Amino acid sequence: MEKQIINTPQAPAPIGPYNQAIKAGNMLFVSGQIALHPETNQLVMDDIVSETHQVMQNLQHILSAAGMTFSDVVKSTIFIMDMNDFSRINEVYGQYFSGSFPARETVQVAALPKGVNVEISVIAAQ
């Protein structure tokens, strides 16, 4: 199976030895995204709502670069620093999907890159 590297300047450049996403066959594996604004390279951390919107916009741009949308997402993983933020993160997350939602897990973690409060990765299929 051939794999294709997906990278777009509309999402933050990787901050380590990985790619934004890998497309293998009809599957797309998107690396975890944080609230790094791709144009300014600054974190968007005014509050958990704006932070989550930036994460979802980064995911949206990567999906688009691969010719996909949130309707193609079959699995997501949400890592959060504080489970007390779950309801606000969940509310923003839900706004990016219409109709059927993907399978998902949400876990509280001890630390995330750059001190962010939320990181989300997705797997999509066409």
What's the pLDDT tens digit per position in 34-93?
999 999 999 999 999 999 999 999 999 999 999 999 999 999 999 999 999 999 999 999
- CATH number of residue 15's parent domain: 3.30.1330.40
81 lies in which domain range? Answer: 3-125
Q: pLDDT value at position 1?
A: 80
**pTM exceeding 0.85:** yes
CB 7 within 8 A of CB 19: yes
Q: pLDDT value at position 3?
A: 94
Q: pLDDT value at position 17?
A: 95
The more confident residue out of 114 and 15 is 114
Q: pLDDT value at position 100?
A: 87
CB 25 within 8 A of CB 1: yes
The more confident residue out of 53 and 16 is 53
CB 4 within 8 A of CB 23: yes
Q: Give backbone dihedrals phi and psi of 50, rounded to 5 degrees, phi first.
A: -65, -35
Q: pLDDT value at position 93?
A: 98
Give yes or no for residue 15 having a pLDDT over 90.
no
Structural domains counted in the chain: 1
Mean per-residue pLDDT of the chain: 96
Q: pLDDT value at position 9?
A: 97
Give yes or no for residue 115 having a pLDDT over 90.
yes
